[in-house]
Chains A and B, each alone.
Chain A
Amino acid sequence: MSFFAFANDPALSANRRTFLKSSSGLMLTGTAIALLSGREALAAAKGHDAEGDVRILNTALGAEQEAIAAYQVGAESGLLQKPVLDLAVTFQGHHKAHADVLAKTVEKLGGKPVAPKAKYTFPVEKLKTQADVLNFAATLEKGAVSAYLGAIPVFHDRDLAKAAGSILGDEAMHWAILRNAVGEAPVPAAFVS
């Protein structure tokens, strides 16, 4: 059994949950709470606009849940050495915080947050070294930056767009640090797309 098959073994899911709880780092900032789950105006939002925003938020939530699982695979792979391992766990905690606040916001808007999948597929056969894991994580973070960038203009609620910008900034920092860790220019261009 490879270390990645180990990570996907349902029998070990209880251990994984314990790990996730201990590493979640759920320190929601005042900004995130104010922008998302704490706004009374969100609770009052109704109708078509809120439905659209819930769909966008739920898609983002699904991607964040997958990112949490991906970092878990990396953390359990045995390929990441300290301090890179600590960094991965920290980033996973950020994604956990994003997911938590996104789920709470969906509920505030009257929607039902998507549940994490029972199992995720990752290209584990291609992950043989620490650099492989970091490069894979970097592709996910870059994709996340693009996804939030594409979501910001389509939120009906401008405060949700602002909050998505806050998450985008965090994930862009993850991407830059991961690039730096594998010896690439941390900030490859003046703009992201």
Chain B
Amino acid sequence: MRGAGAALAVAAALAAGAVHAAPTGDAKKGEEIYSRCLACHALAYDRTGPRHCGLFGRKAGSVPGFTYSDAMKRSKITWNAKTLDRFIQDPMKTVPGTAMGYAGVKDPQERADLIAYLEAANKGPECKDVK
């Protein structure tokens, strides 16, 4: 019985891990999801929101010449897959006071796809000469 209990515990731990593991992103699908962002964002230039070229490794609120909310400037976030995933899930909860008045992308797979697209785009020609 003890062995069976241990096996169950391992299975439960694995299941929990599976639940919490970040899904693998599909950049192609992420490009379609990125179309939702195009009212305010672009890859290579600032709009209502800041540009996304140069996003990875950038400190939040640091694009020169872009006017951020005080909340974003104070957030101390450095953008990477993990911080983006958290922010995109619920921008207003992650950074209260952000100007990004958006409920968020709630589906983990969609967030993974979107982040995969942003990573691919940042390595692509459109971002080649953009900081």
Q: In the complex the two chains form, is A139's CB within 8 Å of B69's CB?
A: no
Q: In the complex the two chains form, is A143's CB within 8 Å of B36's CB?
A: yes
- Chain B contact surface mostly: loop
> Which candidate, B17-25, B53-61, B99-107, B116-124, is the interface stretch facing chain A?
B99-107
**Among A120, A123, A140, A146, which residue has its beta carbon within 8 angstroms of that of B36?**
A146
Whether A121 is near chain B, meaning CB under 8 Å from some CB there, is: yes
Q: In the complex the two chains form, is A56's CB within 8 Å of B101's CB?
A: yes
Q: In the complex the two chains form, is B38's CB within 8 Å of A140's CB?
A: yes
| Residues 30-54 of chain B, each 1 if its beta carbon lies under 8 Å from chain A, else 0 | 0000011111101001111000000
Known: A59-B48, A62-B48, A121-B46. A139 touches B38 (CB 8 A): yes
Q: In the complex the two chains form, is B40's CB within 8 Å of A63's CB?
A: yes
Q: In the complex the two chains form, is B101's CB within 8 Å of A146's CB?
A: no
Q: How far in angstroms is the closest Cβ of chain A from B129?
A: 14
Whether A147 is near chain B, meaning CB under 8 Å from some CB there, is: yes
Contacting residues of chain A (124-154) with chain B, CB-CB under 8 angstroms? 139-140, 142-147, 150-154
Report Cα–Cα, A97/B105, bound state, in Å.
29
| Residues 70-110 of chain B, each 1 if its beta carbon lies under 8 Å from chain A, else 0 | 00000000000000000000001000011111111000000
Central interface residue in B36, B42, B46, B69, by most chain A CB within 10 Å: B36
Known: A59-B48, A121-B46. A151 touches B35 (CB 8 A): no
Q: How far in angstroms is the closest Cβ of chain B from A172?
A: 12
**Among B36, B38, B100, B103, which residue has its beta carbon within 8 angstroms of that of A59?**
B100
Report Cα–Cα, A142/B46, bound state, in Å.
18
Central interface residue in A59, A60, A152, by most chain B CB within 10 Å: A59
**Among B36, B48, B97, which residue has its beta carbon within 8 angstroms of that of A66?**
B48
Report Cα–Cα, A193/B99, bound state, in Å.
20
Whether A8 is near chain B, meaning CB under 8 Å from some CB there, is: no
Whether A55 is near chain B, meaning CB under 8 Å from some CB there, is: yes
Report Cα–Cα, A60/B92, bound state, in Å.
15
Known A-B contacts: A121-B42, A151-B102. Give 4 more (CB < 8 A): A52-B101, A120-B47, A121-B46, A150-B36
- 24 A-B Cβ contacts within 8 A? A55-B69, A59-B100, A59-B101, A66-B47, A66-B48, A120-B47, A140-B38, A140-B39, A142-B36, A143-B35, A143-B36, A144-B39, A146-B37, A146-B39, A147-B36, A147-B39, A147-B40, A147-B102, A150-B102, A150-B104, A151-B102, A151-B103, A152-B103, A153-B103
9 tightest Cβ-Cβ pairs between the two chains A and B: A56-B101, A143-B39, A143-B38, A146-B36, A150-B102, A147-B39, A121-B45, A62-B48, A144-B39
